[in-house]
Amino acid sequence: MLEITPDIHLADWEFDFQPIRAQGAGGQNVNKVASAVHLRFDIRRSSLPPFYKERLLKLSDQRITQEGVIVIKAQRFRTQEMNKEDALQRLKELIQEAVKPVKVRRATRPTKGSQRRRVDQKTRRGQIKNLRGKVGP
C-alpha cells in the first residue's frame, strides 16, 4: 500500500512490477540477474480521486503513455526490492507534483524611477561613445 496523502492510499493491486535486466556497467552480475524494475500504473483504473486522474492525464511527461499508463523504470540499486521501493517513491512524487496548485503570474510594471534611471544610463553611455569619435581639426 502506497500513501499519497493521509487520506489517499493506493492498494497493491494497482501496481504491476516487471523485473528486467539493468543497463550499463556492472560486470557479470548485471548479465544474470534481473534487478531493475518496470512499474506500470494505470491512471484510469486506479482508485485515485477524479481530480488527481485529470491532472495526471494532462501532464506532458514521457513516462505517461497515450493509454494513460505511467511506466517508471528503476535501476538505481543492486537489489530488486530497493528498486521497487525507489519506483514507488518516484510514482508518489509524480502524483504529488501533478496536483500542486499552479502559481498564477501577475504582470508587473517597472517603476517610474527605474525607467528614468535606465534612460539616464542609456544617454550617459551614448555620450561616452560619442566622445570616441574622430577629433576635428
Rounded to an integer, the average pLDDT of 70-96 is 91
Kindly report, residue by residue over 10-52, the tens digit of the pLDDT.
Answer: 888 988 899 888 887 766 666 677 888 999 999 888 888 898 8
β-partners of residue 2 are 10
Residue 26: per-residue pLDDT: 67
CA-atom Rg of the chain in angstroms: 28
Which three cell numbers, joined as nine digits, stand for 13?
493491486
* The predicted structure's pLDDT at residue 23: 80
Read off the pLDDT of each residue in 85-98 and give the average, rounded to a whole number.
Answer: 92
Contact 80/35 with Cβ under 8 angstroms? Answer: yes
pTM, 2 dp = 0.70
Q: pLDDT band for position 125 (50/70/90)?
A: very high
pLDDT of residue 100 exceeding 80: yes
Q: Per the structure block, which three cell numbers stand in for 122?
A: 542609456
Determine the average pLDDT of the residues in 54-79. 88
**Would you say the C-alpha torsion 131, 134, 135, 137 has a positive or negative sign?**
negative
In sequence order, what are the beta bridge partners of 72? 39
> Domains (ranges, CATH) in the chain?
2-98 (3.30.160.20)
Q: What is the pLDDT of residue 30?
A: 67
